[in-house]
Structure 1
Amino acid sequence: MISWLPHVTHLLINELEARSLAGEPDPRRAVRALVGLLPPGGTAVVKLGACGNKECHVPAPTVRVIDTVGADDTFNAAYLQPRLAGQNLCTALQHGVQVASRAISTSPRSFVPAGRVAR
């Protein structure tokens, strides 16, 4: 079931998915197990919501949630944009968290983090 992991550069999953794939009840142990299966230079991001923790701790801000549909996809796209532009892990995680938090807390939905102007 995890034979595809050696081909993954950016593993972007939630806590339940990480625990299930690794067969580990603890998300920190699960991500360590999964990272060991990625190719050299691969990155694993396990989304823990406001409880985010790791080498780069990026907690989600407290927002009034309106609609969570598409939140994972929004985070993934917002995370990958700076990574593909050569930005570091923490910058990409911060951008993903900011954009996804803004998206789930606005109606009509906005993908521009608060305080920034759309280009």
Structure 2
Amino acid sequence: MEHAGAARVAASPTQAGYGRLTAEDVRQVAFGKPRMGRRGYDEAVVDAFLDLVEAELDGPAPADGNALTPEQVETMVFANPPWGKRGYNEDQVDAFLERIAAELRYRAT
């Protein structure tokens, strides 16, 4: 999965902050490290959540009604990485979560 790694400049219109968010955008997103002195979000936890988002955007709505909601995305809390490690930049992850919530809200209408 591509979620890990150095920050990249967004290449597609959706990653640039406009247009629809796709499962491919989620698959290709990469976040930078937090500034020195900050721990950031645990990469494994964020990546696991993005796997759920990717599946949600890639497939049909669940028949059991257990679709991921914008509210769940907006209230998501990620753990810090283990001591001595730096995870993903919180601001970058939070901004991407806002885009995910907006896309889910759009799809629900």
Same fold (TM over 0.5): no
Higher relative contact order (CA 8 A, sep 6+): 2
Relative to the length of structure 2, the TM-score reads 0.29
Structure having the higher Rg: 1
Greater strand content: 1
Relative to the length of structure 1, the TM-score reads 0.27
